Amino acid sequence: STRTPVAPPRPGGRGQTYRPGARRRPGQIVAAGFVVAVVLGATLLLLPAASTTAHRPTILEAVFTATSAVCVTGLTVLDTATQWTTFGQVVIMALIQVGGFGVMTLASLLGLLLSRRLNLQTRMVSASATRSVGLGDVRTTLVGIGIVTAVVEGATTLVLAGRYVVSYGEEPLRALWLGLFHAVSAFNNAGFALFSDSLSSFATDPWICVPIAVAVVVGGIGFPVILELTRSRRRPKSWSLHTKITLAASAVLLVVGGAFVTIAEWTNPATLGPLDARGKILAGFFQGVMPRTAGFNSVDTGAMNNGTWLGTDVLMFIGGGSGSTAGGIKVTTFMVLFVVMWAELRGDPDSVLFGRRLAPAVQRQALAVVLLSMATIAVAAITITSTSPFTSDEVLFEVVSAFATVGLSTGITAELAPWHQGIIIMLMLAGRLGPVTLGTALALRERQRLIRLPEGSPIVG
């Protein structure tokens, strides 16, 4: 009864392609869900019960905060620690959890649908059997993501709460709340913190920094990978190409990113300079993990040198794993393009990674995701820089941070003009939903070209 008849190719003229319209719907539904969550969240944050008496938030500020939470970005125009009451902070935490869960579910289901379709193409199995993702798959995915979320957030909460009680003299209930909030914020790569200086007070405390970094990495690696690891942890050879790429690329980026920040900031008196060697390495690697794409900071981002900003821009742009809470273009996208380039330089007509040829369609999808992302960032950065008093390196950092839903900031977000903050809001939404839906929408689309044109080869370079 679930049979879906396959539509025959429509007759078409020159250059016409055949695309069923239904393919765009999942992205649109989720986008609508995000907007609803933002509106609901902003409304709650506007309630008197959400704010301390200090400052009544404007609608723009409430929408900005809600968008930042739902998109798990972490950029703020108001200080999370002092602006909001516990009720307001619970609203933010709930928005983070909804947004993170939503995007993980979306990306995982789209990925599942995609792999079914690819299996279909490869194995020539009857279309009706494997074409779509059934209710059973959805339930399994939801439950799986729920379990992973609960386990990681629970464990992180306990470690953090214990540390807050033992070493910082917090009351148990307050410590549990602090632990829970930062665990949720970390696993969902949200970067919101209940301290005005983010985690700067804990820069040299491995009992705070390490569990948070671990939660960030696990949350940012993606549910499809976690699922495969729990099922066949001891048989690395059986892992899918996606899992292998994600793990390898994440490991390389963590090491390279951490080493880069540590070395670049080693002597900076405003960041790592005053710390001892152990503290420099802990804080430097923490800051190298955060661009993938958590956005906590344990040293002052605004005081980092400009070269570290540029390097961090690159790390933030790449982001985390597909089907994760992280943002950016995703490590697989980056690796695909890198491997294509490498193959081209080696003179190899096939782009090979872990014993597999990368499908040409995947190469084009990666290119489309990266170029569109770059174009979005360039247009936003040029627009804001041209019409604001800030330098382009500050603006570029903020724009990349928003688009990759990182939340690191040189400190200019709150000082931007309202319409610039509006651009940042749109960047957060576009960056949260764009690459996910674009990448899978492109991959899922039916394709058929009825007439092929003659080939042409312009001179390149």
Judge residue 163's burial from the number of C-beta atoms within 10 Å of its C-beta, 0-12 exposed, 13-18 middle, 19 or more buried. buried
For residue 310, the partner it binds in a copy of itself, K ion, none, with Cβ less than 5 to 8 A by kind, is a copy of itself
Name which of residues 8 to 47 contact a copy of itself (CB under 8 A): 15, 17, 19
User: How far apart (Å, rounded) are the C-alpha atoms in residues 166 and 151?
Assistant: 23
For residue 407, the partner it binds in a copy of itself, K ion, none, with Cβ less than 5 to 8 A by kind, is K ion
Of 362, 404, 412, 424, the residue at the interface with a copy of itself (CB under 8 A) is: 362
When the beta carbons of 94 and 444 are compared against a copy of itself, the nearer one is 444
Asked if 322 contacts 294 with a C-beta cutoff of 8 angstroms, the reply is: no
Nearest 5°: the CA angle 393, 397, 401 is 170
Name which of residues 218 to 247 contact a copy of itself (CB under 8 A): 224, 240-242, 245-246
Q: Does 183 bind a copy of itself (CB under 8 A)?
A: no
For residue 191, the partner it binds in a copy of itself, K ion, none, with Cβ less than 5 to 8 A by kind, is K ion
Q: Does 191 bind K ion (CB under 5 A)?
A: yes
Q: Which two tokens stand for residue 328?
A: 């950016």
User: How far apart (Å, rounded) are the C-alpha atoms in residues 117 and 111?
Assistant: 10
Name which of residues 330 to 359 contact a copy of itself (CB under 8 A): 330, 332-333, 335-338, 340-341, 343-350, 352-359
Q: Tell me how far, at minimum, the Cβ of 75 lies from K ion, in Å.
A: 8
Comparing CA positions, the residue from 283, 146, 285 lying closest to residue 223 is: 146
Of 103, 384, 400, 416, the residue at the interface with a copy of itself (CB under 8 A) is: 384
- In this structure, which amino acid lies at residue 151? V
For residue 423, the partner it binds in a copy of itself, K ion, none, with Cβ less than 5 to 8 A by kind, is none
Judge residue 305's burial from the number of C-beta atoms within 10 Å of its C-beta, 0-12 exposed, 13-18 middle, 19 or more buried. middle
When the beta carbons of 99 and 323 are compared against a copy of itself, the nearer one is 323
Of 102, 311, 320, 407, the residue at the interface with K ion (CB under 5 A) is: 407
Asked if 219 contacts 189 with a C-beta cutoff of 8 angstroms, the reply is: yes
Of 185, 188, 308, 421, the residue at the interface with a copy of itself (CB under 8 A) is: 308
Helix (H) or strand (E) holding 287: helix 277-289
- Cβ-proximal residues to 110 (8 Å cutoff; 6+ apart), any chain: 26, 436, 437, 440, 444
Q: Write each residue from 421 to 440 as x if it is in contact with a copy of itself (CB under 8 A), else as -, in one continuous string.
A: -------------xxxxxxx
Q: Tell me how far, at minimum, the Cβ of 124 lies from a copy of itself, in Å.
A: 14
The number of residues that bind a copy of itself (CB under 8 A) is 101
Comparing CA positions, the residue from 310, 331, 329 lying closest to residue 381 is: 310
Q: Does 393 bind a copy of itself (CB under 8 A)?
A: yes
Q: Tell me how far, at minimum, the Cβ of 362 lies from a copy of itself, in Å.
A: 5
Name which of residues 242 to 281 contact a copy of itself (CB under 8 A): 242, 245-246, 264
Locus of tokens 């933002």: 38
Q: Does 311 bind a copy of itself (CB under 8 A)?
A: yes
Cα separations (Å) of 280 from 17, 145, 270, 302, 340? 56, 35, 12, 17, 36
For residue 337, the partner it binds in a copy of itself, K ion, none, with Cβ less than 5 to 8 A by kind, is a copy of itself
Asked if 93 contacts 68 with a C-beta cutoff of 8 angstroms, the reply is: no
Q: Does 320 bind K ion (CB under 5 A)?
A: no
Locus of tokens 């993702």: 133
Asked if 444 contacts 110 with a C-beta cutoff of 8 angstroms, the reply is: yes
Stretch that binds K ion, among 187-195, 232-240, 354-362, 430-438 (CB under 5 A): 187-195
Of 27, 295, 321, 431, the residue at the interface with K ion (CB under 5 A) is: 295
